[in-house]
Structure 1
Amino acid sequence: MNLLAVERIKLFTTRSPWWCGFIAIALTAGFGAILAAASSDDNPISIGSTQFGYQFGVAVIMVLAALSVTTEYRFGTIRTTFQAVPHRTSVLLAKAGVIALVSLVIGEIGAFGAWGVCYLIRPQDGLGLSTSADWINVAGVGVLFAIAAVIALSVGVLVRHSAGAIALLLIYVLAVENLVQVIPKVGSKIHNWMPFTVADNFLHGANSAPPGSAASDSVLSQGESLAYFAGFAVVMLVIAIGVAKKRDA
């Protein structure tokens, strides 16, 4: 518990987490509001569409998670932490737990904010949360934010430099997975197994996804997709902890 308290204090005593949190919420809710305002009675929006901006929010959350560890390497505070607590696994697990919880809260605020704004703008579109799929579409965003934060934290531990970690994460999330599709013959199959594509399938599922989209072609159920994405995050964290234990801080 002391480690969790220490990591919480370290996280919230800098400005970047606050700014990243506000920006992530604004992007997630803002893009949903823009989509709702641009819709018409002939083209109503769905509950899944209200979360149109979640991918931009995820990108900001991953920046936040990466900075939470790379700034410590930059200013040398991670060295002091490892001297106080030689068991580095405990330190990194505590850091991952705190950043995941914070990201979960931010994601839920942004997701329900987006849904609420869209509901107010388009009450005639029937945006009530009446089924489990509807709840997953909205509440699942916070879960993805938390898992994505653990992945980004792991990359930050491995790279240790803020600019390098952020560039790597943003390029991957915003470009690499989509570019994989241009590989002849096998591109679409590889794309369907990429972690963030699988995460999108968890939110939308094959039944509610547009025809021809990655989610509609996925062979995994929504539960399996969540387990796959979470498993990828665990593997990344284990690798990061193993590397951190072997090299100097």
Structure 2
Amino acid sequence: MIGLPDGVAACLFDLDGVLTSTATLHEIAWQRTFDAFLATRTDGDRAPFTKHDYTAFVDGRPRADGVRTFLTSRGIRLPEGEPDDTPDAATVNGVGNRKNEALLALIDERGIQPYPGSVAYLNAARDAGLKIGVVTSSANGEHVLDVADLAEFVQARVDGITIADEHLRGKPAPDSFLAGARALGVAPSEAAVFEDALSGVEAGRAGGFRYVVGVNRADQAEQLRDHGADVVVDDLADLLGGSR
């Protein structure tokens, strides 16, 4: 009764935008960071950061990949720098760390709420005996799960720290989801991926996973299907009550 095909033994959930509403906070943090950064430049396209920019270049990607991809779209190149660069450094890592500061401030200010339908689905998946993992590009995955009171559901977590430590390619490459499947002891053909980002859906399809669920939080249902989703829902609770 959880809307998955036979043979699925594990669920791999993206975090921001699938289980929690923090994707909105990420978008705001990116917008504030990039708009402030672009205002300091004399090169490239300095138009304000848009929702299209977030979806096309940033959403679902590891932080440094998002900085690099967006700035490339604007004709701006920065040195990589180091992971511990200060937030005011004019480097890929510096801009990424500035965004993380903005995100953590928003979390402190607004808190984190899990989607009620996602909590209902997590309970149903656990009751059905499925293994549960979280695969997120965010380095704040552990903190977000704790604040949202979701950690109790999660048997394995792959996050931005894991991606960096294990030198995994970020989404849309399938590496992080494949690492999540390994951590749960299942093959990709035994796991379902749940994603709201186009890059994440593409990663699930590229990894050969049994089922890819696109979660339509940004009015992009057709694009989610085009990138490889087997089914698209507006909320995970839509999957409850029967198979699809």
TM-score > 0.5 by shorter chain: no
The structure with higher relative contact order (CA 8 Å, sep 6+) is 2
Query: TM (normalized to structure 1)?
Result: 0.29
The structure richer in helix per residue is 1
